[in-house]
Amino acid sequence: MRNLAAGKFAAVVLGLSLSAAALAADAESGKKIFVQCSVCHATDGRNGTGPGLGGLLGRKAGTAPGFRYSRAMKASEIIWNETTLDAYMAAPQKVVPGNVMPFSGVPDAAARKDLISYLATLK
Ligand code: HEC
């Protein structure tokens, strides 16, 4: 009985470390996808052609200090999380009609997942 419990515990720990490793791998490949964003977006609070993306997850759309957003983005009422980012990155103009990001999106779902794992690491 005790051994069984210990075995279960080991399996849980193993499962957890595997998923942490998987997440790190996702973020690593997401970093490569981010290269196409980095022409416009910094990974910290600095604004360029696009707003800085540091601390993006949990932030309300259109609120990076000092960035001049479109009215569409400011009025979108979106909170950036895995779900909203996945939708926006799939079809930016469909999700925020009239936003001025000159980028057509990331069509591949797996690539978007990796990209969002990477965005989640930006503090
Ligand atoms: C050619 C420049 C350009 C590229 C490339 C680009 N963006 Fe943007 N992005 C912008 C601009 C400009 C805005 C502001 C849009 C607005 O105000 O309507 C924006 C807005 C955003 C927002 C909303 C941020 C906020 O503070 O609400 C996110 C998220 C975002 N971009 C992510 C990305 C990601 C991820 C990529 C790469 C896959 C990318 N962008 C590629 C220019 C760009």
- The set of protein residues with a Cβ atom below 6 angstroms from ligand 1 is 36-37, 39-41, 49-51, 56, 61-62, 64, 69-70, 72-73, 80, 89, 99-103, 106, 115
- pTM (2 d.p.): 0.88
- Structural domains in the chain? 27-119 (1.10.760.10)
Helix axes 2-33, 109-119, angle to 10 degrees: 100
Using the predicted structure, report yes or no on whether residue 10 has a pLDDT greater than 80.
no
Q: What is the pLDDT of residues 12-71, one digit of tens each?
A: 555 666 778 887 889 999 999 999 999 999 999 999 999 999 999 999 999 999 999 999
77-109: b or e for each residue (b if 16 or more CB lie within 10 Å)?
Answer: ebebeeebbbbbbeebeebbeebebeeebbeee
